[in-house]
Amino acid sequence: MLQYLIILLSDRSASFCHYSPGSSPKGEGSGTPIALDTLRRGIRFAMRENLMIQFVYPEEELPREILDEIETIDHSKIKAHPNPPEGREREADADVLVLNGWEALASDCKSEAAGFDVPLVLRTAKAELFERYGAPPAVVDRHASEFFPERFPHGQFYPRTLGIDAFPIEEVIARGETTYRNMLSQGEEGSEIDEKLFQRAEGEHEQLVEMIKSLLLDERKTFSVNIPNQGAVRGLPEDAVLELPGAACAIGFCPLCVNGFSDELRGIIARRLAPVNPTVTAALTGNRKMWAEAMLLDGAVTDPKVADALVEDFLNEYRDCLPQYQ
C-alpha cells in the first residue's frame, strides 16, 4: 500500500534513494525541470490516493510556475546540501538534506556556517565504503560518531556535539526517568492509561507478528535481531549481543553464521564491546575503579581524573539506589 509519492522536480534533482542525478544537455550548471502538466497530474494523483508528497529539488533554481504549483499541497522538501555550506539560503526551508559522501559530512562538521536542524541523508558510493571497510555500514546517523570516533572527534555530530546540543545527556536521562515514572503510575490499579500508548509509534512494527508466528510454528524465517553471537561471527565473544540475521525457530532465535567478516570490521565491533563486561562487573561488585576504567575503555572519556569524578558525582546523586557502592 502506497503511503507517499516522491516527485523529482528536475533531471538533476538531488541524488536520493537509488539513482544518480542525470546529465543535462544544456550544460553542467542546468537541468530540465519537470513539465508543469506532469507535476499537476502527480499532485492530483497524490490527493486522490491520500499520499504524502516528497519533492526532490535540484541545485539550480526552478521556474516560478513550478514553485507556485508545489505550494498548492502539503509536502516535504528534499534538497541537496549546499556546498560550500555558506551558500545555503535556498536550502533553509528544506525538510531533508542530502549530503554527498563522507567527505562532505566530515568537512561540514568543521564548518561554523553549517547548522541545519533537519534530518540528513548521507549518500555514499559503494566504492568509497568498500575501499574503507569492505562493507557498507547499516546505519549512517548519530551512531556513526560512536563507532567511528576518529572521524567525529570529541563527539562532533554535524556540526553539533553529541551529548551537548545533539541529544543532550540531561534531556535523554530526564526523558528516560519520565517514561519509567509514567509506566509505574499507569501500571497501578485504577490509574488512567495514556491514550498515546495506543497510537502508532515511529519504526518497524509489522514484523513483530511475523516473528511470533515463526517462533510458534517453527517456520524458521530469518529476521534481523539482537541476539548472543554464539559463534556466528568468529573472533568475537560468544556471549556478545550483536545485531545478526537469526532464524525464528521453536527453540527461539538461532543466529546464522556471518562469513567474510574482515579483521578491520571485527576490530571496530570489538572496540565497542570492550567496556561491556567491565561495566557489568563494576555494577555487580561495587568496584569504583572498574567503573571508571569501563568509561575509559568506551573512549567517550579520555582523562582518568574526569572518569573518577563522574563516578563520584553519580554516586552522590544516586547512592541510595546503589547499596553495593556503600
Per-residue pLDDT tens digits for 83-97: 555 555 666 788 887
Strands 96-100 and 221-228: unpaired
pLDDT, position 138: 59
Check pLDDT > 80 for residue 151: no
pLDDT, position 326: 75
d(CA 2, CA 306): 52
Angle at 259 between CA 212 and CA 203, to 5 degrees: 35
Mean pLDDT score of the chain, rounded to an integer? 80
Label residue 26 by pLDDT band (50, 70, 90). very low
Residue 185, φ and ψ in degrees, nearest 5: -70, -40
Question: Which of 3-7, 209-213, 259-263 has the largest mean confidence?
Answer: 209-213
pLDDT, position 181: 86
Percent residues over pLDDT 90 in the chain: 35
Q: Supply 132's cell numbers.
A: 574503507
pLDDT, position 111: 45
d(CA 75, CA 235): 48
Around Cβ 212, how many Cβ atoms within 10 Å? Answer: 11
d(CA 26, CA 33): 12
Are 107 and 156 a contacting pair, CB within 8 Å?
no
Label residue 165 by pLDDT band (50, 70, 90). confident
Of residues 135 and 26, more confidently modeled: 135
Nearest to 140 by CA among 175, 98, 86, 201: 98
Of residues 129 and 226, more confidently modeled: 226
Check pLDDT > 80 for residue 314: yes
Check pLDDT > 60 for residue 107: no
Label residue 113 by pLDDT band (50, 70, 90). very low
d(CA 250, CA 27): 61
Q: Is the dihedral of CA 166, 172, 178, 183 positive or negative?
A: positive
Query: What separation in angstroms does the CA of 297 have from each of 139, 145, 182, 203, 278?
Result: 23, 16, 34, 31, 9
Are 157 and 142 a contacting pair, CB within 8 Å?
yes
Check pLDDT > 50 for residue 211: yes
Query: Which residues are CB-neighbours of 215 under 8 A, at least 6 positions away?
Result: 248, 249, 250, 252, 253
Check pLDDT > 70 for residue 300: yes
Q: Is the dihedral of CA 11, 21, 141, 81 positive or negative?
A: negative
